Structure 1
Amino acid sequence: MTEDGRRFEIPKDMRAMAEAGIDQARQTFEQLLAGAEATAGSLEQRSATVRAGAKDIGAKVLSYAERNVQSSLDYAQSLVHAKDLPEVLRLHSEFVQGQMRSLTEQASEMGQAIGKAAIDTTKPKA
């Protein structure tokens, strides 16, 4: 009601326009919310992919460390049983060459694992 006692009414055209604006805002909000949910789901999937890649890489690192430590212990034990200096030099040369091959192989495998993890992380999820 107005001050002079008349009832206040919104014209039908204005009401229809306001309702259309509200409907449009509601649709836009629902689309925004759906997009945000899809993005959150995608981030969750990517996070799981990153965790899986990190787990694989961590397992490789641990495996390499175990092999390298075992190789060093084997080398140390062989040195203890060496009979003379030429045998020590031969054992050392064999150990260094084996370690270089092993480290080269490990670096290559690690590079491949990191590359695969990076590719898996950036792949679009279905």
Structure 2
Amino acid sequence: MAAGKSGFEIPEQMRDFAEKSVDQARKAFDDFMNVTQQAVSKVEDSASAMQTGTSDVNRKALTFAEEQVDAAFKFAQEMVRAKDMEEIMSLQQGYLHKQMETLGEQARDISDTATKAAQDAAKSAKS
């Protein structure tokens, strides 16, 4: 044995192999973390888009509820002022007709808004 050397020495090829293995493992881990971060970002973007869409639907629903209550109060005021049964029937028929039209329009509007929100969330998830 030479002076200053221990009895066991790791061959250079083995050290090179171990170093390359560590480098490859590090690269694989870094790649995994990048993909994971991208996936988390997509989920966050999708959730954000869906939350925005949900807020839009909620605001519309609240606005529509206010409009319905306002229409009901106006109808009640007209009913109180009615002079006879014929006028009451006419007011009621007009009110119901108008409410059916309004509800149909509002349902379409809410549906369109919800569909757009779902599409925006899906686009965020894909990109």
CA distance in 2, matches of 1:30, 1:78: 72
Q: 1:14 is matched with which residue?
A: 14
Q: Alignment identity in percent?
A: 34
Deviation string 1:11-65 (CA, Å, 9 cap, x unpaired) is 2222111111110000000011111111222222112111111111111000000
The alignment status of 1:118 with 2:124, answered yes or no, reads no
Secondary structure (helix, strand or coil) at the match of 2:65 reads helix
How well do the aligned residues superpose, as a CA RMSD in angstroms? 1.5
CA distance in 2, matches of 1:59, 1:102: 17
Normalized against structure 1, the TM-score is what?
0.91
Equivalent AA in structure 1 for residue 98 of structure 2 = G
Aligned length: 122
Normalized against structure 2, the TM-score is what?
0.90
CA distance in 1, matches of 2:50, 2:6: 67
Equivalent AA in structure 2 for residue 77 of structure 1 = Q
CA distance in 1, matches of 2:70, 2:49: 32
* Alignment of structure 1 residues 23-102 onto 2, 5 Å: 23-102=23-102
Equivalent AA in structure 2 for residue 82 of structure 1 = A
